[in-house]
Structure 1
Amino acid sequence: MPDPVLLLHGLGRTGLSMLPMARALRTAGFDPHVVDYPSRKHAIASLVDRVVVPRVDALLDEGAERVHFVTHSLGGVLVRAFAADRADAGEPLPKGSRAVMLAPPHAGSEVADALREREPFRSVLGPSLGELGTDEGTGPNALGPIRGVETGVIAGTRAIVPFGRLFDGPHDGLVSVDSAHAPDGLADRAVVPKTHALLMMSPTVIRLTVRFLWTGQFAEPEGA
């Protein structure tokens, strides 16, 4: 039975953005499940309960030996929160479950800081936007170290949207490399010259993702 992989898009996107990744995962021998969820309608905790919990439980009930994840942006925060909740409750995901998170705002986003109180952004993007700021002790900053799932993060460094002045270091236009790589407990990190919106469609990112799901690292194993 192929290992299932849940693919979760980012804020304001749809499952269509994850289809190239899903096709590559199927070719690589996985069982991809693209999750099209209402990212603009609910806060983070509600999205975890409504989106992640039932799908993971269903796969485990069907006999999956492990469950993997590939996420973009907000999707990574949802999986991080879910895995941490399960680990803290003494019910971690099965050993060998892995996650590749593309540009997750683990330490928040300076763009969210700038837009979350402004219209029409607040109304259009919904309650989770207000939780993705850089404030200490709130949103993803309150989740602590990565736990409950073996996780690799890929961050981008190319920007085509006009928010560059908000960042002090390398970024992909919406999320900084430092934010994406912020949590303790990551199994591996990678950086690619791609923009936030297109990370999941990059052949390089797809190749790194498949490798991590198979091996637990982004670098090609020695002797391969």
Structure 2
Amino acid sequence: MDGVILLHGLGRSPASLWGAQAYLEMRGFATLNLPYPSRRAPVDELAARLAPRVRVFAESLDGDVHFLTHSMGGLVAWALIARERPRNLGKAVMLAPPLGGSEIADFIAEKPFLKRLFGPAILDLTCSAQRGPIDFPLGVIAGEKTLNPLLSLLFFRGPNDGKVAVERTRLPGLADHLSLRVSHPLIPWDGEALRQAVAFFRNGAFSRATA
């Protein structure tokens, strides 16, 4: 059986991925929906804390271990894979990841009060943060619907999900990329996003066919 590790975003909890977890389990995947203190440490430290639980779960499977992440959880997964790549690593699907950073994170990082509120990891979400190479099969699903058009006009020039610009979800090395008309907080609950994630886990590419 293949398994999927789920990682939530900044300021969220595993509850934000309960729908995705149930969807995956109904389709035959074992799951591990990990909690982590997203506002208390930088991404690399968060990855180090999670590594032992990821290792135990990966080694318990007789198939591949995949990752499904939301927002900053994608950066945590990336750091985990760089730190201690599972021998049975399969594929990763990141929902609305700030791979190239977020202009909103830039704004928060410049305001001391907001920076303290969001925690050290906010610096890892800025547009100037350094990224390593993508050396694993990675598919990204971006959102291009905002719940706050005025705020998006202030921070973004092109399509965005209210938190991350679509163009900043792209980096060289992606196996596939897809944009959907869904907002940042709702993308983990979107049925089409989840259908596409399963397609990527199974085939290494998103499905362009109608559901």
Same fold (TM over 0.5): yes
The match for 1:213 is 201
Aligned positions of 1:14-25 closer than 5 A: 14-25=13-24
Residues 219 and 61 (structure 1), Cα distance of their counterparts in 2 relative to 1, 3 Å cut: closer
After the TM superposition, which segments of 4 or more aligned residues of structure 1 sit over 3 Å from their partners? 92-96
Question: 1:1-224 alignment to 2 at 5 Å?
Answer: 2-51=1-50, 53-86=51-84, 92-94=85-87, 97-135=90-128, 138=129, 142-147=130-135, 149-161=136-148, 162-181=151-170, 183-219=171-207
Letter in 1 for 2:163: L
Deviation at 1:3, TM superposition (A): 1.1
Q: Distance in 1 between matches of 2:44 and 2:82?
A: 12
Letter of the structure 1 residue corresponding to residue 66 of structure 2: H
Amino acid aligned to 2:69 = T
Aligned residues: 208
CA distance in 2, matches of 1:44, 1:60: 21
Question: How far apart, in 2, do the equivalents of 1:94 and 1:218 lie?
Answer: 24
Contact residue 65 and residue 88 of structure 2 kept, 8 A? no
Question: Structure 2 stretches of 5 or more lacking a match?
Answer: none
Amino acid at match of 1:78: V
Q: Partners in 1 of 2:154 and 2:72 — Cα distance? A: 22
**Deviation, structure 1 residue 113:** 0.6
- Following the alignment from structure 1 to structure 2, what is the Cα–Cα distance between the partners of residues 203 and 61? 29
What is the TM-score of this pair, normalised by structure 1? 0.86
The answer as to whether partners of 2:137 and 2:174 remain within 8 angstroms in 1 is: yes
**Secondary structure, counterpart of 1:97 in structure 2:** strand
Closer/same/farther in 2, CA of residues 61 and 130 from structure 1, 3 Å limit: same
Q: Is the 8 A contact 1:4 1:64 kept in 2?
A: no
C-alpha separation between the residues in 1 aligned to 2:31 and 2:59?
17
Offset, 1:160 = 1.3
Give the CA deviation at 1:213: 1.1
Aligned counterparts of 1:75 and 1:64: Cα–Cα separation in 2: 25
Percent same amino acid among aligned pairs? 36
Unaligned runs of 5+ in 1: 87-91
Letter in 1 for 2:144: T
Deviation at 1:206, TM superposition (A): 1.1
Partners of 1:185 and 1:106 lie apart in 2 by: 12
Cα RMSD, aligned residues only: 1.8
